[in-house]
Amino acid sequence: MGLEMANAVLKNGDKVVATSRNIGELTKRISLKSESFLPLQVDITNDTEVKKAIQTAVDTFGKIDVIVNNAGYYLVGSFEEIGDQEFRKTVDVNVFGTVNIIRNVMPFLRKQQSGHIINISSNMGYVGYANAGSYNASKFAVIGLTEALAQETKQFNVKVTVIAPGMFRTSFMSDSTLASAQNKIDVYGVEAHLKMLKSFDGQQPGDPKKIANILIGITQLENPPLHLPLGSDSYQSILEQRKTEAEELELWKHLSLSTNFDYL
């Protein structure tokens, strides 16, 4: 998805700073080579590396207009199976990686009084699923921090959007990408869950080229959306979840409203 975004932005005539842990893969798969493309090898969980990369981007191109926080790590496993370090790695990449970039880019956006931060969450940032708890937790966090960030940056004319993609045809569900907990407990059926996820690889309904073009489009809007589910599967699952939540709230409303002090 990140590669499609980079290619689309370059074809649009704009400049791209693309970061990856593997800079060779970046340079090999970007179709348009030009002075408008700056690849950087960055570990987004390392705050010092992030700060240096952002300064390099500004030094090279003069400013940053749009930031897309796209890195993601999906660990499959139940809460009982996932070890402390495994869970922390999920949060380090999906949450702290995003926070590191936001923290270090905001001084530039605040000074220039413009910009657009796009955080990539997931439909799994709205709907929880068994054997995906660490991923759910991190992607729910991305939505919450985006909502808070939008309130903080509005005064500086910095726009914020959180994207919730469904299943798009990327390598995210391939053998080389999916990770699973080391301490497997058969009763949770994680191996079957992994097999199911891998069966989607290459069959996902979403076209990553279309998501790239949509992201370019929303950066040109005066009032872009704060929340944007992308993919019919994402839209429907979030809608159904909200309906279920509303019904549950109404069912237990009598308890929710019963907790204030009684006044005579």
Catalytic (active site) residue 135: yes
The phi and psi torsions of 239 (rounded to 5 degrees) equal -60, -45
CA 18 remoteness from chain centre:
16
Catalytic residue among 126, 135, 188, 263: 135
Partnered with residue 121 across adjacent β-strands are none
Count Cβ neighbours within 10 Å for each residue of 232-247 and write b for 16 or more, e otherwise.
Answer: ebbeebbeeeeeeeee
Instruction: Give the integer Cα–Cα distance in Å for 31 and 169.
Output: 19
Structure letter (DSSP) for residue 95:
I
Whether 64 and 16 have beta carbons less than 8 Å apart is answered as no
Going by C-beta distance under 8 Å and a sequence separation of 6 or more, which residues neighbour residue 140?
Answer: 121, 125, 126, 128
CA nearest to 170, candidates 229, 217, 211: 211
Count Cβ neighbours within 10 Å for each residue of 178-187 and write b for 16 or more, e otherwise.
Answer: bebbeebeee
Cite the active site residues: 135
